[in-house]
Structure 1
Amino acid sequence: MTDPLSAMLGLGLFGIACLAFTEKILPAPPSHVLLLFLGMTRSPDLATLCVLLAATTFGSTTGCLFWYAMGLRLGPARADALVGRFGRYIFLRHATYAGFARAYRRNHVRASLVAQFVPTVRNYLPILAGALRLPVLPFALATLFGATLWNTGFLIAGYSMRDSGHDLLVVAFRIIAIVVLLEMTALLALRYRRLWWPRLGPARG
Structure 2
Amino acid sequence: MTGPLSSILGLGLFGVFCLALTEKILPIPPSHVLLLFLGMTAAPDAVTLAILMLVTTLASSAGCLVWYAVGRRIGSDRADRLVDRFGRYVCLRPSTYHKLGQAYRRNHIRVSLLAQFIPTVRNYLPIAAGALRLPALPFAAATMIGAMLWNAGFLVTGYLMRGSGKDTLTVGFRIIVIVVALETAFMLALRYGPAWRRRIRLALG
TM-score bucket of the superposed structures, by smaller chain: 0.7 to 0.9
Structure 2 CA distance for aligned equivalents of residues 129 and 137 of structure 1: 12
Deviation at 1:6, TM superposition (A): 1.1
- CA distance change for structure 1 residues 83 and 190 in 2, over 3 Å: closer, same or farther? closer
Q: Could you tell me how far apart the structure 2 residues matched to 1:89 and 1:172 are?
A: 28
Identify the residue that residue 151 of structure 2 maps to in structure 1: 151
For 2:179, the equivalent position in structure 1 comes to: 182
Instruction: Note if 1:47 corresponds to 2:44.
Output: no
Matched-pair contact (CA < 8 Å) for 1:38–1:158: yes
The gaps in structure 2 that reach 5 residues or longer are 196-205
- Number of the residue aligned with 1:203: none
Q: Is the 8 A contact 2:36 2:154 kept in 1?
A: yes
In structure 1, the residue matched to 2:203 is: none
How much is the aligned-residue C-alpha RMSD, in angstroms? 2.1
**Higher alpha-carbon deviation: 42-51 or 148-157:** 42-51
Query: Given that residues 43 and 162 in structure 1 are in contact (C-alpha distance below 8 angstroms), is that contact kept between their aligned partners in structure 2?
Result: no
Alignment of 1:46-195 (within 5 A): 46-163=46-163, 170-192=167-189
Aligned-residue offset at 1:193: 5.8
- In 2, Cα distance between the equivalents of 1:113 and 1:100? 12
Q: Secondary structure at the match of 2:117?
A: coil
Shift of 1:164: 6.8
Q: Secondary structure at the match of 1:127?
A: helix
Structure with higher helix content? 2
Which residue of structure 1 aligns with residue 12 of structure 2? 12
Q: Structure 1 pair 82/16, CA: closer, same or farther in 2 (3 Å)?
A: same
Aligned residues: 194
CA contact (8 A) 1:37 1:171 kept: no
Deviation, 1:174, is: 3.1
Q: Partner amino acid for 1:94?
A: P
Identity of aligned residues (%): 60
Q: Name the amino acid aligned to 1:179.
A: I
Bigger Rg over Cα: 2
Deviation at residue 8 of structure 1 after TM alignment: 1.1
CA distance in structure 1 between the partners assigned to 2:181 and 2:155 by the alignment = 19
